[in-house]
Chains A and B, each alone.
Chain A
Amino acid sequence: MNCREFVEFLMEYLDGGLNDAERSVFEGHIDACPQCVNYLDSYRETVRLGQTVCESEDQVPDSVPDDLVRAILAARNA
């Protein structure tokens, strides 16, 4: 396995979609290639950052502007 193939199968590996034989080849590359370890870590971090990017606003949801509330109620009755 080379780095291109490693990157290609990365998401399936993280999703647990590789079979035993494929996973063992994949993990063999991890042991042999520090570059791909960096790639794997930063890919994981990218996913995590995407997933947490809206955390703060979810904790304190924006309120709905009053004029929007009125517009929605008016549209409902239209």
Chain B
Amino acid sequence: MSDGAASTTDDLALIERLRTGDDAAYEEMIRLHGGRMLAVARRFLRVEEDARDAVQEAFVSAFKSIDRFQGQARLSTWLHRIVVNACLMRLRTRRRKPEQSIEDLLPGYLEDGHLERPASPWRPETADPAERSELRKLVLESIQQLPEGYRNVLMLRDIEDLDTEETAEQMGISPGAVKTRLHRARQALRELLEPHLREAVA
């Protein structure tokens, strides 16, 4: 998704047309990149209207700052960052529920430091497309059960492929806090998936 590579010649040609005010170039950019941006916004916001609004905001903001696009990144990567930012802004302004605790979702330990519930081996992933699609659905639903501050870090790092520094910047927290939250979010997600994925005992 974000490979950090420099702009392609196609990117630069499109940007040049945008800078000269070529109307068709704007529509071309929306049609080329909007689908993927909408998919990102749907993952974060889960309400279709909000996702569309975030994509619209992202494009308007991208058009305004097109002169600042330097070409060190792919256009798709640059737009991806902008739509992620628009989604996080939108989440921040939504009426805040008190942050749910993640503690209940973390593994428990006995006094001697052993896991309270022993971890089981998981079954290998199936090749069956229908089952794989079910599994993806389960993973996404389980991610949605994580408290928001943890869910967002996990989505930015593991799904949207931002690095620790970029995630820290987008979330307004320290890189250390990103690492702590990511590790806890992954542990909690593992706990949520375990009952579904552990190997059946023969």
**Chain A residues close to B by CB (< 8 Å):** 2-5, 7, 10-11, 35-36, 38-39, 41-43, 45-47, 49-54, 56-58, 61-65, 68-69, 71-73, 75-76
In the bound assembly, the distance between CA atoms of A39 and B139 in angstroms comes to: 18
**Chain B residues close to A by CB (< 8 Å):** 1, 26-27, 30-31, 34-36, 38-39, 43, 52, 55-56, 59-60, 63, 107, 109, 112-115, 118-122, 133, 135-136, 139-140, 143, 154, 158-159, 161, 179, 182-183, 186-187, 189-190, 193-194, 197
Total A-B contacts with CB atoms under 8 angstroms apart: 126
Chain B residues with CB below 8 A from A3, complex form: 109, 113-115
Min C-beta distance of B127 to chain A, whole Å = 14
Min C-beta distance of B52 to chain A, whole Å = 5
Q: Known: A49-B193, A56-B133, A76-B60. Is A63-B119 also a contact (CB below 8 A)?
A: no
- B119 CB contact (under 8 Å) in A42, A56, A65, A73: A42
**Which of B39, B59, B107, B179 has the most chain A CB atoms inside 10 A of its CB?**
B59
* A72 engages B121 (CB within 8 Å): no
In the bound assembly, the distance between CA atoms of A75 and B56 in angstroms comes to: 8
Min C-beta distance of B89 to chain A, whole Å = 16
In the bound assembly, the distance between CA atoms of A54 and B56 in angstroms comes to: 22
Chain A residues with CB below 8 A from B113, complex form: 2-5
* B1 engages A58 (CB within 8 Å): yes
Min C-beta distance of B24 to chain A, whole Å = 11
* B60 engages A11 (CB within 8 Å): no
Q: Known: A43-B187, A45-B197, A68-B55. Is A51-B158 also a contact (CB below 8 A)?
A: yes
Min C-beta distance of A40 to chain B, whole Å = 9
* A46 engages B119 (CB within 8 Å): no
Chain A residues with CB below 8 A from B159, complex form: 50-51, 53-54
* A11 engages B63 (CB within 8 Å): no
* B26 engages A76 (CB within 8 Å): yes
Chain A to chain B contacts (Cβ below 8 Å), 8 pairs? A35-B119, A41-B121, A42-B197, A50-B158, A64-B38, A68-B34, A72-B55, A76-B60
**Chain B: which residue is nearest A45 at the CB level?**
B122
* B182 engages A11 (CB within 8 Å): yes
In the bound assembly, the distance between CA atoms of A3 and B111 in angstroms comes to: 11
* B158 engages A47 (CB within 8 Å): yes
Min C-beta distance of B120 to chain A, whole Å = 6
